[in-house]
Chain A
Amino acid sequence: EVQLQQSGPELRRPGSSVKLSCKASGYSITDYLMHWVKHRPEHGLEWIGWIDPEDGETKYAQKFQSKATLTADTSSNTAYMQLSSLTSEDTATYFCARNGYYFDYWGQGVMVTVSS
């Protein structure tokens, strides 16, 4: 059974960074792109970018180019997203999601709260 297990909720100060994890099971992460999506109830869903874990290639939405860094560790079958220079605008739930086009499996989401 395919599962994407994300790390637990995070509380960070403004200006700091956070690294989120997404551990895949039931398949090899090198077989599919891994996407990351931001969700704020008042803003809906925003696509952040993808990583190809097989070769490390990444692509980002323009607004997240300097905010997010996507990496992957094939030995642990885990994808990561680091968010830097956090502000209150980064307070959201972040999902990882599998596949190249439409997203057939999603992680459960991780809440990131940025507050002083």
Chain B
Amino acid sequence: DIQMTQSPSLLSASVGDRVTLNCKASQNIYKNLAWYQQKLGEAPKLLIYNANSLQTGIPSRFSGSGSGTDFTLTISSLQPEDVATYFCQQYYSGSWTFGGGTKLELK
């Protein structure tokens, strides 16, 4: 199985900060990567698919980049409602795997 590694596992930032979350695949997955936001007690929400495509209805402060093995989710200006855990997911191999998550909190 393809392993997905996210860093950092915990990130503290202030409102208005530019925030960068990282995701690394154990092998080339091209652009077959999605990002999800999960708030406490809720289902995950799709933010980004195909590495850099913004899901309908998601604020434009969220963006994704990368291809191959290294990917990034960027929040251009952190808002209080962005406090959540963020997961990356690969769907290249036919056996879907998720990263361990980055918990984003307010400083």
Contact = CB atoms under 8 A, between A and B. Distances in A.
B100 A44 contact: yes
Contact of A102 (B34, B42, B94, B95): B34
Given A101-B32, A102-B89, A47 B44 contact: no
Contacts of B69: none
Interface string A4-47: 00000000000000000000000000000001000000001111
A111 to B, nearest CB: 10
- Range of interface residues on A (Cβ < 8 Å): 10 to 19
B94 A59 contact: yes
B46 interface: yes
B94 to A, nearest CB: 7
Interface of B: 1, 32, 34, 36, 42-46, 49-50, 55, 87, 89, 91, 94-101
A-B interface, 6 closest residue pairs, ranked by CB to CB distance from nearest: A102-B34, A106-B43, A47-B96, A45-B98, A102-B49, A101-B91
